[in-house]
């Protein structure tokens, strides 16, 4: 059974533009994490505690206060193996983001599924964060993430409808 009104070119174009924006966003996330991983690899065999202390000093923070002290403690406990593990995890994450961006830009269904699932995974953590420590940026991240998940689910539904009408 065919629908009375086929999807308009405007709705198809709008969907494509929205998905391309998500693809660019995912590529930017992948690039940012890849840069962070590169920075972690550069820290191997360096005095991480000294670098962290210099960073805190540069920001004119009190190293004895709560958050700078936590940062210094974490830097002191990072071994080369931990840094390598963090860098490899960041590399894997960025490769997944790049693959997702490539697939979304190429209008692949698997990329839409990946984007919907990977976005939905973060929602409970973002909600928990907002409950325990409400902030405007936490709320903004949740809204953006929910919009991306909704867009991907909508795109998958539209893809299925198009497939059914073409059969």
Note whether 81 and 132 are same-domain residues: no
Q: What is the pLDDT of residues 50-72, one digit of tens each?
A: 766 776 676 766 666 666 666 66
The pLDDT, as a whole number, for residue 43 is 61
Determine how many CB atoms are found less than 10 A away from the CB of residue 162.
13
Question: Where are the strands (E) in the chain, listed by range?
Answer: none
Determine how many CB atoms are found less than 10 A away from the CB of residue 141.
15
**Residue 165: band (very low, low, confident or very high) from pLDDT cuts 50, 70, 90:** confident
The pLDDT, as a whole number, for residue 23 is 95
End-to-end alpha-carbon separation of the chain, Å?
9
- Calculate mean pLDDT across residues 42-49: 61
The pLDDT, as a whole number, for residue 140 is 92
Note whether 98 and 17 are same-domain residues: yes
- pTM to 2 decimal places: 0.70
Note whether 58 and 130 are same-domain residues: no
Domain that holds residue 92: 10-106
Note whether 96 and 128 are same-domain residues: no
On whether the CB atoms of residues 63 and 127 are closer than 8 A, the answer is no
Residue 46 lies in a domain: yes
- Calculate mean pLDDT across residues 138-155: 93
Higher pLDDT, 60 or 20: 20
Higher pLDDT, 36 or 78: 36
């Amino acid at each position: 059974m065919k629908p009375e009104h086929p999807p308009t070119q405007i709705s198809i174009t709008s969907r494509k533009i929205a998905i391309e924006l998500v693809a660019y966003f995912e590529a930017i996330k992948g690039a940012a994490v890849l840069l962070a991983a590169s920075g972690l690899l550069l820290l191997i065999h360096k005095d991480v505690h000294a670098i962290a202390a210099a960073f805190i000093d540069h920001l004119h923070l009190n190293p004895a206060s709560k958050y700078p002290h936590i940062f210094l403690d974490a830097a002191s406990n990072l071994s080369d193996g931990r840094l390598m593990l963090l860098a490899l995890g960041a590399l894997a994450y960025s490769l997944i983001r790049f693959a997702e961006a490539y697939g979304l830009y190429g209008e692949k269904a698997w990329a839409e599924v990946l984007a919907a699932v990977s976005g939905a995974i973060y929602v409970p953590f973002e909600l928990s964060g907002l409950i325990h420590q409400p902030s405007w940026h936490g709320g903004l991240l949740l809204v953006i993430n929910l919009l991306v998940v909704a867009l991907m689910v909508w795109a998958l539904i539209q893809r299925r409808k198009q497939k059914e009408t073409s059969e």
